[in-house]
Structure 1
Amino acid sequence: MPAHLRAAVFVAALCFPRAGSAAEPAPAPRPARDPADAIAALIDAQLAKDWEARGIVPADRADDGEFVRRVYLDLIGRAPKAAEAREFLDSPAPDKRARLVEHLLTAPGHANHFAAVTRAQWLPQAATNFQLAQFGNQFEVWLRDRYRENTPADETVRRLLTVGIAVNNQNPRFRFVQPVSGNAEAAMIVGFYSANEGKPEALGAAVSRLFLGMKLECAQCHDHPFAPYTRDQFWQFAAFFGELNPLGGPRPGFVGPLPPQGDRNTIGVMGTERTVTAAFVDGSAPEWSADKTPRQELADWLATAKNPYFAKNMANRMWAHFFGIGLTDPVDEPGENNPPSHPELLKELGRAFAGCGFDTRVLIRGLVRSKAYQLTSKMSHPGQADPRRFARMNMKGLSPAQLFDTLVAATGFREPAFMRAQQNNGFVQPNNPRSEFLAQFASSERATETNTTILQSLMLMNGKFIGDQTDLAKSELLAAIADRPGWSTEQRVSNLFLTAFSRPPTPAELERFTSYVERGGAKNDKQQALADVFWVLLNSPEFLFNH
């Protein structure tokens, strides 16, 4: 047989099965490891090592009732409704926790909640400045779209930093920032720049704090007394936003000669005759190009995996959201006087976040799948007392929006359609139950240190909203539970517990509250006594905290 035919037969024998024989199945490709599982594993490994070294025994795993309420509050900003809690508690599926997380990540409430949380961090001025309120609402709508589309965190920040805007400096009392060429996205982002009045020093301070985790503004007038930030570093970073200054560079207070009008990357140091050129906080500088603005040069360095500050800071902020306190806390004051509680974990968490393409949902899945997130908040060992060891879940006070939305979920209150539409468009009408709660319960305290004021307590105990929702004549939900035919008093009480706490009552609770209702309470009226029970549950610490 010719050599070329022998070769053809050999190849055919390799590629095709012999007649009458079964082909060997091709080996199935091994699925790549879920990056969220890898994040959960590194969290658990690092914390377990820390607990062992310190002789800490971690808390028990949270039961399903504790978990379902926690994850609803953290992911969509409200506790589950009774039907949602019951469906989860009754499910026999072994992976029901992971399934619930997937469901919530794609629910509209997730984008709404995280947009509101992010807007409060990135644009806090909008909550107290009437002129900025509408800017803040538009900015929140833009953020909502980013979370709904699962835009990677680096792309979101890049779009924020490079948006086409201009500053109108005609009004000496307020510098108006406006979008260039009628860009719709810029119109929604413009609030971030308006809140900082388009000032390079204000924008540099905000961007370094939010996206690098550094309070560079403490070095605005002098070198930082506790951190290794110099005055020049602050102004070099602010210089990236110097192009927004219509005067060409220096700010009011600069006493030296003006730099050339076209020198977009130079700024004057306030109170001196010196000018500095834009530079990154690590001391390096861009390779300047005429095709890029200074803000684009900044974005090319800041919102990338090669910048370790960005990834660690964003991961740390997400950790603080779910655990109540950051690995570095406060989250924007790293330094020798504020080292991270778990430096290796923070470094690896930032590396993992960058490695998954800054996919926020992957990071969230990893955090909530960890054993640490699924620990109970009930203390069972003295070593669990330190909240920065994460040996049990930290209790977090509900934010004003979480509290109101949880009350809505628990009571069945129906917000008028026009109010819901306004909220979805980023606008909250004053003088309605929602706006009253947001105003009364506003707080600047960290979640793990929330305290209830006297006025807040009075609003919950005696306010019209709670009064109406615990009134049999006005509350549809309460009336439905009280009038449900065939239900025993125990069933009615149990449903109130499921409605308020996402769990059934303990035997002791069931006996105590059932006995109270059966006796008719203070007015010898069983239905009114049932309303009293609901009022007590809604005013309890268990209802007011995420635990």
Structure 2
Amino acid sequence: MVAVSEQGELLAVGNGEAQIAVIVDGVSATVPVTVTGWSEKPEVGFRDFISPIISRAGCNQGACHASQYGKGGFVLSVFGFDPSMDHAAIVRDRMQRRLNFVDPEASLIVKKPTMQVSHGGGQRLKKGSVDYDTLITWIRNGAPAPRADAPTVTGLSVFPRQRRCTMDETQQLRVEATYSDGTSRDVTGWARFDSMDEGVVSVSENGQVHVVGQGQAAVMVRFDGEAQIATFMVPYGPPGKLPGWENNNFVDELASDKFRQLGIEPSPLCDEATFIRRAFLDAIGTLPTPEQTRAFLDSTDPNKRTLLVDRLLGLTGNGELDTYNDQYAAYWTLKWSDLLRNTSNGNATDEQRMWAMHNWIKESFRTNKSFDKFVSEMVTAKGSVFSNGPASYYQINNRPDDLAESTAQLFLGVRLQCAKCHHHPFEKYSQDDYYSFAAFFSRVGTKSSQEFGLFGREQVVMVKSSGEVRNPRNGKTMPPQTLSGEKLDHPLDRRIPLANWLTSADNKDFARSIANRYVSYLLGRGLVEPVDDMRATNPASNPELLDRLAQHFTESGFNVKQLMRAIMISRLYQLDSQPLPGNAADAKFYSHYYVKRLSAEPLLDAVDRVTASPTKFRNLPAGTRAIELPDAEYPDYFLNVFGKPKRASVCECERSPNENLAQALHTLNGDVVTGKIAAKNGRVAELLATEKSDAEIIEDLYLAALCRPPTNSEVATMLDFREHTQDRKEFFEDLLWGLVNSKQFLFVH
């Protein structure tokens, strides 16, 4: 009645009952099996059976027959999302040359993938396999087309969903598809499996998972447009009690739960000097002065770290202490101007628009505007781009598809771009979803105005009374619909219900997306990476922590400063960056602080502050810092070398954290750094003009550059070098050069 393959797959060969014996390591079990409805001429549906076989073989991937022009004149839909098109290509295209109804085994669609004739894609199908026999049966039955009433896949289940493993273990996954008619089917043999972290687990094409490393990893499982994951946890060591660990808040509670699950020992707390430098650079993008550092190090207040965070974020409620608001606003305006792509493009007219948006962003952060209001003002903006800053969002993104993609990626962490042309391969979004979301922006337009002068070329964002979006694949007019499937409209402006839905407390994706970004900014990596690719098949390293941060963010009224505070006062944020032997391999769970390279603008400002030689930017007031630059177009070689983005993309990836040779050479012997160190009015010259001793100057330079005093050993070494150097000025310039080129200076650690 039933045949069993080497992989344990059952194949019905007749009606009746049978017993399947399973034996593993001397332990056995018997499984009763009943076969009904078996036929020597079974019905083989194209969508149910043939399309999954094609997908499993990889024929409908972008690099093969699903590329723009296909391969060898044979074009299939991407990942099989258009079964009717695929059926026509196989059955009718090229005068039916791909099928032989008289002798099915002579069909090109069979002979090519089995390499009975030359095939550029190599062998994709084994003769005599279940898939081969199914394909032959389908051809023998007349190659029927997909039925319009055929049940469709509505869900996918993977077993087991979670598993705790040890090194070198294996686990066979089982995949079950649920159909619209209520039936279910084991589709393990036709599902596609991908490891999301091959350093932890690998997975075979048949779904057998092999543990190869420690940590936590997901296996993505796909079938017929549906996707699910199975999560595998491989502890680094036995579960521990974390001696000495004390929770500061909920962040620590949930992080330490993960440490215990994975058997990770977290690093100890960083020292005070490291903390003040880290907190200043992360919160306001600026180094503390030597005086600020000394005051913090000398303080005996046991709560001084929390107080420092509150002062940097302007949350003490005391105007005399909350003195960093402008620096905070400047730094975070830079970050969000990059993401929102606010630039003049070197154009005088766009410069006016750029300044309007820059000032609006800066004022929003200066006043700590709630983030839901910040986003709503932008999404519903209209009026002059010269006088209403958020209206520039519609000048930068001037088509419904641009607006749909940017809005989803910026504020939901969803990359919709794939769904523009085909069903998203790793997500639930279809072309209909894409164009329905774009329909919210279909009635936004611009018109010219001469209010700012005949040659002002002012653009005014307006809402039109008509305008629709069509799905180009079928020409269907798409009603506005959110990515969660809610159809929303408004008689005056479709964007109003969109903004309400987008920023609603009920929209968990909004809060999770923003919380994840700020985890990345402060802790060195997001709970989800990439930070703007949040989907069910790209799970968070600590889902409970992400959900709790999102909840905290929502309950605070979408207060970004409160979100930052929750992270920065946590013990997790304050851990040392030096890993322990037991956590050195951890790159996901924050058991030690992840070192970050200073980005271009804070780095230039740090060089300016340490050398006391500020950069002068063309057409801007003296004293303007790099983090205050409103535009991406200011010509500055240093900033360009260190990766200041052109603001051409909403992706965080446009600003690369990676080092390169040009950067190393520039700090080592570039004119900017060496010129500032040797400046006549620079820090070295100022210190030499005082009556300070060599040891005192050494301490001042260390405090200015590294925000810590030198160790006794460092002082002794420097004084020894000084004794063998005739030129005092040259010695201290060399010392400052060495400090500026040190990793302790170039990185947030």
TM-score (structure 1 length as normaliser):
0.80
8 Å contact kept, 1:398–1:447: no
Query: 1:148 is matched with which residue: 366, 369, 380?
Result: 366
Between the aligned partners of 1:429 and 1:322, the Cα distance in structure 2 is 27
**Shift of the alpha carbon at 1:213?**
0.9
Matched, 1:195 2:396: yes
Amino acid in the other structure paired with 1:101: V
* Residue aligning to 2:242: none
- Tell me by how many angstroms 1:218 deviates: 1.6
Distance 2:507 2:465 in 1: 29
- Look up the SS of the partner of 1:401 in the other structure: helix
Q: Structure 1, residues 223-276: CA drift from partner, whole Å, max 9, x if none?
A: 0112221111111111100012589xxxxxxxxxxxxx9555x41123542111
| 1:379 and 1:392 in contact (8 A); partners too | yes
Contact 1:40 1:366 in 2 (8 A): no
Structure 2 residue matching 1:418: 3-state secondary structure? coil
Match of 2:702 among 488, 492, 497: 497
Query: In structure 2, the residue corresponding to 1:275 is in which secondary structure?
Result: strand
Deviation for aligned residue 1:513: 1.8
Does the 8 Å contact 1:141/1:425 carry over to 2? no
Q: What is the match of residue 298 of structure 2?
A: 90
Contact persistence 2:443–2:465 (CA under 8 A): no
> Partner residue of 2:153?
none
Say if 1:422 and 1:76 are closer, same or farther in 2 by CA, change over 3 A. Answer: closer
TM superposition shift of 1:64? 0.8
**Number of residue pairs matched by the alignment:** 466
Do the aligned partners of residues 460 and 302 (structure 1) sit closer, same or farther apart at CA in structure 2, a change above 3 Å counting? same
2:710 maps to amino acid: P
**Displacement of 1:214 after TM fit?**
0.5
Tell me if the contact between 1:219 and 1:231 (Cα under 8 Å) persists in the aligned partners: yes
1:134 Cα offset (Å): 5.6
- In 1, Cα distance between equivalents of 2:597 and 2:681: 26
The separation in 2 between residues aligned to 1:234 and 1:272, in whole angstroms, is 14
Partner residue, 1:54:
262
Q: Counterparts of 1:134 and 1:448 in 2: how far apart (Å)?
A: 25
Contact 1:384 1:390 in 2 (8 A): no
Work out the percentage of aligned pairs sharing the same amino acid: 29
2:722 to 496, 517, 520: 517
Shift, 1:480, TM fit: 2.5
Structure 1: gaps (5+ residues): 1-38, 166-177, 248-260
What's the counterpart of residue 270 of structure 1?
472
The one-letter code sitting in structure 2 at the alignment partner of 1:116 is L
Aligned to 2:572: 372
Counterpart of 2:687 in structure 1 is 481
1:331 maps onto 2:531 in alignment: yes
Task: Say whether 1:467 aligns with 2:674.
Answer: yes
Superposed counterparts of 1:246-265, under 5 Å: 262-264=465-467
1:361 to 561, 575, 586: 561
CA drift at 1:453: 2.1
Q: Report the CA distance between 1:88 and its aligned residue.
A: 1.3
The CA deviation at 1:148 is: 0.6
Q: Is residue 535 of structure 1 aligned with residue 737 of structure 2?
A: yes
Amino acid at match of 2:472: M
Q: Given the superposition, is the C-alpha separation of residues 48 and 313 from structure 1 closer, same or farther in structure 2, using an over 3 Å criterion?
A: same
- The 8 Å contact of residues 490 and 496 in structure 2, kept in 1 or not, is answered as no
Specify the code of the residue in structure 2 equivalent to 1:109.
Q
Post-superposition shift, 1:462? 2.1
Deviation track 1:429-483 (CA, whole Å, cap 9, x = no partner) reads 845xxx3322221167869973332222222222222122222x62431122234
Question: What's the CA shift for 1:60?
Answer: 0.9
* Structure having the larger proportion of residues in helix: 1
Q: Which residue of 1 aligns with 2:376?
A: 158
Distance of 1:148 and 1:263 partners within structure 2: 38
Q: Are positions 1:285 and 2:487 aligned together?
A: yes
User: 1: CA distance between counterparts of 2:592 and 2:344?
Assistant: 33
Aligned match of 2:29 = none
Does 1:120 find its partner at 2:338? yes
CA RMSD of aligned residues (A): 2.6
Q: CA deviation digits over 1:396-448, x for unaligned, max 9?
A: 111111101111221112455724469768358845xxx33222211678699
1:119-138 Cα deviation digits (max 9, x unpaired): 112227x3877685664443
1:497-538 Cα offsets, whole Å, 9 max, x none, are 111100011232222222111211xxx323311211111111
Whole-Å Cα distance in 2 between the matches of residues 230 and 54 of structure 1? 37
State the shift of 1:74 in Å.
0.7
Matches within 5 A, 1:57-456: 57-106=265-314, 107=324, 108-123=326-341, 126=343, 135-165=353-383, 178-179=384-385, 184=387, 186=388, 188-196=389-397, 198-245=398-445, 262-264=465-467, 266-286=468-488, 288-290=489-491, 292-415=492-615, 418-420=621-623, 426=630, 430-431=634-635, 435-442=636-643, 450-456=657-663
Counterpart-to-counterpart distance in 2, 1:89 and 1:462: 33
Question: Equivalents in 1 of 2:433, 2:622: separation in Å?
Answer: 47
Q: How has the CA–CA distance of structure 1 residues 76 and 539 changed in structure 2, closer, same or farther, with 3 Å as cutoff?
A: same
2: CA distance, partners of 1:242 / 1:541: 50
- SS of 1:503 mapped into structure 2: coil
Q: Tell me the amino acid that sits aligned with residue 318 of structure 1.
A: Y
Matched AA of 1:468: G
In terms of mean alpha carbon deviation, does 408-417 or 372-381 score higher?
408-417
Higher relative contact order (CA 8 A, sep 6+): 1
Asked if structure 1 preserves the Cα contact closer than 8 Å seen for 2:528 and 2:541, the reply is yes
Per the alignment, do residues 350 and 502 of structure 1 end up closer, same or farther by CA in structure 2, a change over 3 Å counting?
Answer: same
Tell me the distance in 2 between the aligned counterparts of 1:40 and 1:328.
Answer: 23
* Structure 2: tracts of 5 or more residues without a match: 1-246, 315-323, 448-463, 646-651
Instruction: Decide which structure has greater strand share.
Output: 2
